[in-house]
Amino acid sequence: MTGNKCKNCGSAELEVDPARGDTICTNCGTVLEDSVIVSEMQFEENAHGGTSALGQFVASDSKGGCRGFGNNFHSPLNRESREITLLNAKRGISNLCQQLRLNQHCLDTAFNFYKMALTRQMTRGRKNTHVLAACVYITCRIEGTPHLLIDFSDVLQIDAFELGRCYLKLSQALCINIPALDPCLYVLRYANNLEFGEKTHEVAMTALRLVQRMKKDNIHYGRRPSGLCGAALLMAARLHDFSRTVGDIVKIVHIHESTLRKRLVEFGETPSSSLTLDEFMNVDLEEEQDPPSYKQARAKDRERAERLQKLMEEMETNNTLQISDLQVEIERQLEERRALKRPTMTESFKLLSSVSGENVEEVDTDKFVAQSTLGVIQDCLDSGGNEAETAQPMGLGPSHALMGLDKKNETVPVENCPFQDGTGELDLEGIDDTDIDQYIMSELDAKNKDKIWMAMNATYLKEQKEKEERLAKEREEGKPEKKRRKCTGKKKNTPAANTAGEAIEKMLQEKKMSSKINYDVLKSLNISFKEDSSTNISPQETQKQTEPEIILPPPKSVAPSKRSKATPRIQKMKVEPKTEPMKIKEQLKEEVLPVLKTDTSVAGESSETEADMDMEE
């Protein structure tokens, strides 16, 4: 068993036990052989010196090695069931082949097909006669004999369609490639049955020529051979002066009259049908035709396209008529509206013509636009009165102060419309009631719109209702209400400030630094200090009273600090507390800055600026 492999896992590691007569795969544990009687070849030598094999060979399809029980038993008991089935099948195939006049080769081939079907268990659930007839028909198709399924149906008295289903399943299961059916095989058979006498061969040759032409014109695809043979025999019989009717042909070939006439019509549509008998027998046209089914499909497509084209043309004519009717209706309604508005327009044109002294149509548009533009610019420059409350800011761009003008935040006043009444009412003259009614919605439309709005905002309404219920519940429980912070957004489109004072005022309005400081008093401090210093105190007294003691470090002994390496710092500054702050600031600037400027060897320009900043602090 070294050459064998496991059928389950494919491993070659097999363990054979001769005592028990089994073989086990050591990889997966599958028992490959059990109770083996003989698994090797043994020979024995007889008295004459010859050798013979012990035991007997068992076929693969046999059930066992025992073939007899002695002479006391009857013969049927000595056979297996499979052997009995095969014997019965061979007997039935031989009887069928004798009735169909088939040779021994066809019988053996059909019997082999039956054994293949029996091995693959294709005979289960099917009648034995159907399986035998299918095997014989497969043999006839392979060998090319002139037999049809209807012949088997007549002999065995079974349904041809059931026999065809069994034949298809059996050929697919056995993977047998059945060749295409040639209609020429059945012409001679049907010609002999029509009794043409001495001209049977001539009629058959003409019919064969017709069938070959039909095959070249692709008429045989998807058709039974009996219909083609019947049409060819009918035409051949008429060409050779035999009066054979459609009924006579139908009785022989076993087809319907409509099928026969349809084959004749299909052949009549080919170019070969217009040839005479001599031309047809001698001339072979090289041109091939399309299958009749393809031609019919193309004809249906053309009919469908023509029908669609007609429908499109009808729809276009109807659309043009409808469009023309709509255009006429639109022109009529527009003419009616023009007639209603014409009096007011004529009055306005008359008024303009009387003022200008010439026709409105002849006014030069460019000149009028230029003059009106110059007038608007001059009015904006010359107007200096009070600005209207509804004035709009000029927006971004250079202000009048930057352009050298004395006006600030110039705005363009909104003039009253000359065509607007002083009462504020709309002029409805020239407007129809139908136009006004179009703006008023009917009750049905209002209800539908209300339903649509409620459906679209259902979630929002539900949330609002839940929110109201929650707030009401909180009020009942006595919970305090949450205070909301008022967010004041920045004002948009604020004009730019022209001076620093205006910018500071706007900044203080937007951001209030503190509510506890009176900024008006702070504004007046600078003015009051200047007035006091100019009237009451002289410069000499002020210098004596507010003179501070300032001690500066020596120039060369100053160590560099972290802020600046060469920056001198004021170590001591003594200021009397009674002096006013603004005066102290001015005195410090007058006294300290000259001292810092003189000490150029220690500090440069950067030290001067830092000293000035420190003094201001």
What pLDDT score was predicted for residue 401? 54
Give CA–CA dist 171/134, Å, rounded.
Answer: 9
Q: What is the mean pLDDT of residues 98-120?
A: 91
Domain contains 96: yes
- Note whether 419 and 344 are within 8 A (CB): no
Enumerate the H helices of 101-159 as residue ranges. 104-119, 128-143, 149-156
pLDDT at 136 exceeding the cut of 90: yes
Report residue 398's pLDDT band, with 50, 70 and 90 as the boundaries.
Answer: low
Q: Is the pLDDT of residue 85 over 70?
A: yes
Structure tokens at 537: 């105190």
Residues 6+ apart with CB under 8 A from 232: 187, 206, 207, 208, 210, 211, 214
pLDDT at residue 566, as a whole number: 41
Q: 564, 607 in Cβ contact below 8 A?
A: yes
Residue at a domain's end among 232, 262, 289: 289
> Sign (positive/negative) of CA torsion 8, 10, 13, 15?
positive
Instruction: Say yes or no: 125 and 163 in one domain.
Output: yes
Using an 8 Å Cβ cutoff, are 27 and 15 in contact?
A: no
Q: What is the three-class DSSP state of 207? A: helix
Say if 69 falls within a structural domain: no
Domain total in the chain: 4
Same domain, residue pair 274 and 322:
no
More confident residue, 499 or 548: 499
Q: Which domain holds residue 145?
A: 81-174
* Residue 407, helix vs strand vs coil: coil
Whether the pLDDT of residue 544 is over 50: the answer is no
The candidate with the shortest Cα–Cα distance to 588, out of 214, 580, 88, 316, is 580
256 located within any domain:
yes
Provide the pLDDT for residue 232.
87
DSSP of 243-261, one letter per residue? ---HHHHHHHHT--HHHHH
Helix (H) or strand (E) holding 611: helix 605-616
**Does 93 share its domain with 169?**
yes
Q: What is the CATH number of the domain that holds 120?
A: 1.10.472.10
Other CB atoms within a 10 A radius of the CB of residue 273 amount to: 16
In a domain, 454, yes or no: yes
Separation between Cα atoms, residue 262 and residue 578, nearest integer Å: 136
d(CA 499, CA 502): 5
Q: Does 138 score more than 90 pLDDT?
A: yes
User: Is 65 within a domain?
Assistant: no
Structural domain ending residue among the three candidates 270, 289, 308 = 289
Is residue 328 included in any domain, yes or no?
Answer: yes
Lowest mean pLDDT among 14-28, 210-224, 344-358: 344-358
**Helix H or strand E encompassing 62:** none
Residue 134 confidence (pLDDT): 92
pLDDT band at 371 (very low <50, low <70, confident <90, very high): low
Q: DSSP per residue over 154-195, as a string?
A: HHHT--HHHHHHHHHHHHHHTT--PPPPPGGGGHHHHHHHTT
What does the angle CA 455 – CA 456 – CA 462 come to, to the nearest 5 degrees? 75
Instruction: Name the percent of the chain lying above pLDDT 70.
Output: 61
What is the Cα–Cα distance from 590 to 568, expressed in whole angstroms? 18
* pLDDT, tens only, 154-188: 898 999 899 999 999 999 988 888 888 888 888 88
**What angle is formed at CA 38 by the lines to CA 34 and CA 43, rounded to 5 degrees?**
165
Model confidence band, residue 135 (pLDDT cutoffs 50, 70, 90): very high
Average pLDDT, the chain: 72
Residues 217 and 199: their CA atoms lie apart, in Å, by 27
305 and 262 co-located in one domain: no
Does the structure show a pLDDT above 90 at 354?
A: no
Residue whose structure tokens are 């009444």:
421
- Indicate whether 187 and 166 sit together in one domain: no
Per-residue pLDDT band at 543 (split at 50, 70, 90): very low
Q: How far apart are CA 595 and CA 603, in angstroms?
A: 12
Between 105 and 502, the higher pLDDT residue:
105
Question: 155 and 228 share a domain?
Answer: no
- 120 and 93 share one domain: yes
Per residue in 222-254, pLDDT (tens digit) is 788 888 888 888 888 888 888 888 888 888 888
In a domain, 106, yes or no: yes
Q: Looking at the structure, tell me whether residues 149 and 93 fall in a common domain.
A: yes
Shared domain check, 272 and 316: no
On whether residue 327 sits in a domain, the answer given is yes
